[in-house]
Structure 1
Amino acid sequence: MLYSLHVKNLALINEQEVEFKNGLNIMSGETGAGKSVIIGSVNLALGAKADSGMIRTGAEYALIELSFGITDETQQKSLKELDIPVDEDGTLILQRKIMEGRSVCKANGETVSARQLRELSNILINIHGQNDNQELLHKKKHLEILDDFSGEELSKLKDECADAYKEWKDILKSLEETNLDERERERQKDLASFEFNEINEADPQIGEDENLENKYKRMVNSRKIAEAAGIAAEATGAGESNESAADAIGRAVRELSLVSSYDEKADELLSQLSDIDNLLSDFRHAISSYISELEFDAEDFAQTEDRLNVINHLKDKYGGSIEAVLKYRDEKEEELSKLEDLGAYREKLISDEKKYHEKVLLLCTKISDLRKKNADILSELLRKALVDLNFIDVRFEIEVRPDEEKISAIGFDDVEFMISTNPGEKIRPLDQVASGGELSRIMLAIKTVVADKDEIDTLIFDEIDAGISGQTAWKVSEKLGLLAKEHQIICITHLPQIAAMADNHYEIAKGTHKEDGQERTVTRIRMLGEDERVSELARMLGGAQITDSTLENAREMMRQADDVKNNIR
């Protein structure tokens, strides 16, 4: 669940922290007080696109921090798969700092990407905004809702179908590529043959380019190397010089050997000098051999240079490395094999295409059958939920229409929600019938039904009450109260019927305070006590004029809500 929200320097919020509790958390306030900023800040903390214009005027950055308690094992496993660190007690703190031109996201102090935060939002929290209602008018959303309800069994079938569909499409692409006339086939065959032979005749070996580069570099710089090696040889006694390091060390060894028996220290020094003499002797032999290796003729140099040019030409033309060149050669060999016996290759592709097409069709049929089965179950659950939300004579069906001409990676079904809200009315597509207020209730019904199947603890509703009032508002209130029995609900509302059902009620208000010597507008959030709840409900009921009767009406509304909660919980 969501423990707390901390916001600093965001829009009209200077700095606020809100602690949320279990049950139904209601937020209310005057229009323009900043209710939308609260939902917006949660979205930002979960990776939504950030704009530096959101930063409070005069501040260098905005900061949003969410604190969660993760107790569900499935959620903990999902977080682990995303490499999101969670404390041993299940605490997860998400933080996002928004600055000019960039933002920094952290999870329990470790930097994470905005992409990871967005994936987290599907695990930790479900946010329903006013725009979500309009999504119900699109059949794509109907398919998504049904598939989510259908669960793991359908998900596995869809994964299997996606793999088979990709194989099928790849085969179709290969078939299209082999649909050549004789002239084009000969042209492609000649080109593939030329490229294969060019590489094959050169026969490049892995590592050959590095060896050639080193050899060529040594040859080109052989004069400089020989001069330096010669001087080193002369100085160490490998040349013809009469005065060398070897002669000097030899004399030193002879002199110390004459006196080494008189003193242990002199003997130790003699031993060290003897080691140097041996090392120098080894060096003289090595450098003499090295100098002889530097000798090469013009023909050897020309052959090395020519071979290096061939290898570099192949690398430039076919991939940048010998490994890439050899891979290209193998591809051309395979292509030649196909082109030389194109008929047999096409026959195999046609056979494979038929096999995978049948496999995809079979999987699509299984997916469709499972969708139809779950559509019947979900339709009845939603119908009952809609009756609870004051759709008295509602009929609700989910139509699943298979079409073999519309095969895709997720099946071949067209899914559509159908509804009739009045007796005698023909059942019709949702987008032809539902009003704005009805869409709100239908979405709440969906959330209620689906919430029982997922592991998400926290649900946020931004003005789920749009377009409703009176008795219907009470029905929505009761449904939210029931949903809050098993989930943490955070709901922004302007209806007193819904606010009366609150387990915890927060007021969002706009005011002013002095900042840097001038008056600044700020949004504040605070939890209301019992008497303050009565006053806020009275404001929602009666507007600016709050009378004794309005206050009593508010108290009566809260008593009715308590009776409902006692019955449903």
Structure 2
Amino acid sequence: MLQELSIRNFAIIESLNLSIEEGLTVLSGETGAGKSIIIDAIHLLVGGRGSAEFVRHGEKKAEIEGLFYLDRQDHPCYQKAEVVGVEIEDDMLILRREISASGKSVCRINGKLVTISTLREIGSTLVDIHGQHEHQELMDERFHLLLLDQFGGNEIISALSNYQEIYTVYDQTKKHLDKLNDNEQKTAHRLDLIQFQLSEIEKAELRLHEDEELMEEKRKLNNFEKLYEALNSAYESIQGEQKALDWTGLAMSHMESVSDIDEELNTVLDSVSSSYYALEDASRTIRYQLDGLEYNPERLHEIEDRLNEINSLKRKYGTSIEEILEYSARIEEEIDQITNRDTHILELQNKLASFEKDLEIEANNLTDVRKKVATELTNSIHDQLQELYMAKTVFQVRFDQIQRSFGKNGQDVIEFYISTNPGEPLKPLSKVASGGELSRIMLALKTIFSKHQGITSIIFDEVDTGVSGRVAQAIAEKIYTVATNSQVLCISHLPQVAAMADTHLYISKITKNERTSTKVNVLTKDEKITEIGRMISGVEITELTKDHAKELLEIANKMKKAYT
């Protein structure tokens, strides 16, 4: 959920810090006080479109920062954050956005600079903002299949997993077949190219680690004189007359002559003896190295030519000999496939036909499961709509009857349809235009899908416009129901909604130094009664109005207890 919100120099907001609680938070206040501006700031924070017009007049930039707490380890935000390289510690996520007076945006997530698209990708898992005239996922038919699958839970996950397991292999085989079926001229050009490349690699007769061995040999040849002098001097120092080996041998003889007198000297004798034999071994090794040394300028040229040849192949086919040989094996297999194209095509066609049979079985099973879930979803939505006094409204999950090709999520194409009046035909949900009806339909859908979407915070921006009376009360209860599953922020002019609030924020305007700013107050119990009274009566607040407000709060408290 959104725990802290900080806004600086945004529209008429000079400086604002909000701590937002769990449950239902209602924002109320006079028109133009800045309620929607706060929602606009949150919208920008999670990747909404920004412009220089949002920057407070006379300031260089607007700043918005929000602290989100992720209340479960399977929250979709974790997966998306991992993909873009954002680390999440202590289940906390800090989003920050700055908009300069020139219109440029700077976005950060947990201190890491990100693009607006990345901010939007992460933000979509945290906040869902819904206004009366704003099309969200529920209004976009492209998301309806996903919403149905989320509602279906494990039952659909299992069926979809079985389908996708076969689809992955099917898709790879189909792409391979499409590649082989490419036009003949293009295939012929490709064959000429890779045959030339294979010939060039094979002609080089590369060996693994050959370049490393050549570089070592080249290094030795380039340092021949230094190497020879060092080895020769070392050999003379050990093996020469009256040198290390002679003196060590003499020391060993002296120690042997007295070792039977003092047994403690045997340890010293062993050390001296070991040194003598070690020097003998080192001397033989140095001699062997010296005998093998030969300065050959022609060999140096050969090495350089060979290394140039290897480096030329690296520039074309890989950064190492191992990668070049792997590339060689791949194009050799491709040459075989192209030259035996007809045989391979037939094999792949047979495989594809077999996969299609299995895929069709799993796709049909997935469709059957979805249709069963669609019936359950339809019944749930009808129940919700009945509680919102839309009992005659008909909702339907419509499956496209056209035979579709296999896709990652099956063959199904679905869209939500609805009819709000008896005798009227069902129409796509996106075509429903009546403000009051749309508000109730959206709340019914939100009540159901908020349990499955995993959204941290849901914001309703005046979705209760155009309703009153018992419908207003039903909407208030429904918004509170959504708030039992997700944190909800709601801008409302309905006293019924305000009465259901767990936290009530009053938004007002103040003038300081001839500049207008937005101020936010968390209302106390008495202040809440006064504000609800104002929402009931308008400007004048009487004792009777306050009594009505108290009664409304008492009714709301009883209803809220029923949800706990």
**Which TM class, normalised by the smaller chain length?**
0.7 to 0.9
The offset of 1:171, in angstroms, is: 2.6
* SS of the residue 1:425 aligns to: coil
1:4-15 to structure 2, matched below 5 A, reads: 4-7=3-6, 9=8, 11=10, 12=13, 14-15=15-16
Q: How big is the alpha-carbon RMSD for the aligned residues of Structure 1 and Structure 2? A: 4.9
1:524 corresponds to: 519
1:488-567 to structure 2, matched below 5 A, reads: 488-512=487-511, 521-548=516-543, 550-562=545-557, 564-565=559-560
Distance 1:13 1:493 in 2: 23
Could you tell me which of 181, 201, 204 is aligned with 1:202?
A: 204
Gaps of 5+ in 1: 262-267
Whether the 8 Å contact between 2:6 and 2:18 is mirrored in structure 1 is yes
1:16 corresponds to: 17
Distance 1:124 1:566 in 2: 28
Whether the 8 Å contact between 1:44 and 1:64 is mirrored in structure 2 is no
Q: Cα gap change, 1:4/1:278 in structure 2, threshold over 3 Å: closer, same or farther?
A: same
Higher mean Cα deviation, 317-326 or 457-466? 457-466
The offset of 1:368, in angstroms, is: 1.7
Whether the 8 Å contact between 1:318 and 1:328 is mirrored in structure 2 is yes
Whether the 8 Å contact between 2:239 and 2:246 is mirrored in structure 1 is no
Gaps of 5+ in 2: 260-266
Whether the 8 Å contact between 1:55 and 1:98 is mirrored in structure 2 is no
Amino acid at match of 1:31: T
The offset of 1:210, in angstroms, is: 0.8
* SS of the residue 2:153 aligns to: helix
1:215 corresponds to: 217
Distance 2:345 2:74 in 1: 48
* SS of the residue 1:26 aligns to: strand
1:205-244 to structure 2, matched below 5 A, reads: 205-223=207-225, 225-226=227-228, 236=237
Higher mean Cα deviation, 172-181 or 224-233? 224-233
Q: Cα gap change, 1:10/1:373 in structure 2, threshold over 3 Å: closer, same or farther?
A: farther
The offset of 1:214, in angstroms, is: 1.7
The offset of 1:484, in angstroms, is: 4.5
1:35 corresponds to: 35
Length-normalised TM-score, structure 1: 0.77
Distance 2:26 2:232 in 1: 91
The offset of 1:249, in angstroms, is: 8.6
* SS of the residue 1:405 aligns to: coil
Q: Cα gap change, 1:540/1:189 in structure 2, threshold over 3 Å: closer, same or farther?
A: same
The offset of 1:227, in angstroms, is: 5.6
2:170 corresponds to: 168
Residues 241-297 of structure 1 deviation map (CA, whole Å, 9 limit, x = unaligned): x9x9869999x989x99xx99xxxxxx999999999998887766555444443143
Higher mean Cα deviation, 116-125 or 534-543? 116-125
Amino acid at match of 1:175: L
Residues 302-360 of structure 1 deviation map (CA, whole Å, 9 limit, x = unaligned): 44334333322322221121111111111122123223322211110111121222333
2:263 corresponds to: none
Distance 1:545 1:437 in 2: 27
What percentage of residue pairs aligned between the two structures are identical? 32
Q: Cα gap change, 1:124/1:172 in structure 2, threshold over 3 Å: closer, same or farther?
A: closer
The offset of 1:385, in angstroms, is: 0.9
Whether the 8 Å contact between 1:379 and 1:398 is mirrored in structure 2 is yes
Whether the 8 Å contact between 2:132 and 2:435 is mirrored in structure 1 is no
Whether the 8 Å contact between 2:404 and 2:412 is mirrored in structure 1 is no
1:465 corresponds to: 464
Distance 1:453 1:359 in 2: 30
* SS of the residue 2:308 aligns to: helix
Residues 388-428 of structure 1 deviation map (CA, whole Å, 9 limit, x = unaligned): 11224212211112432343211222212222212222223
Residues 207-240 of structure 1 deviation map (CA, whole Å, 9 limit, x = unaligned): 1111111212322343454466667777x4778x
2:339 corresponds to: 340
Distance 1:180 1:46 in 2: 44
1:427 corresponds to: 426
Length-normalised TM-score, structure 2: 0.78
Provide the aligned length of Structure 1 versus Structure 2: 550
Q: Cα gap change, 1:355/1:5 in structure 2, threshold over 3 Å: closer, same or farther?
A: same
Whether the 8 Å contact between 1:78 and 1:123 is mirrored in structure 2 is no
Distance 2:225 2:47 in 1: 64
Amino acid at match of 2:35: K
Distance 2:549 2:206 in 1: 89
1:25 corresponds to: 25
Whether the 8 Å contact between 1:175 and 1:346 is mirrored in structure 2 is yes
1:155 corresponds to: 157
Distance 1:333 1:486 in 2: 58
* 1:353 and 2:346 aligned: no
Q: Cα gap change, 1:442/1:121 in structure 2, threshold over 3 Å: closer, same or farther?
A: same
Whether the 8 Å contact between 2:496 and 2:552 is mirrored in structure 1 is yes
Amino acid at match of 2:337: K
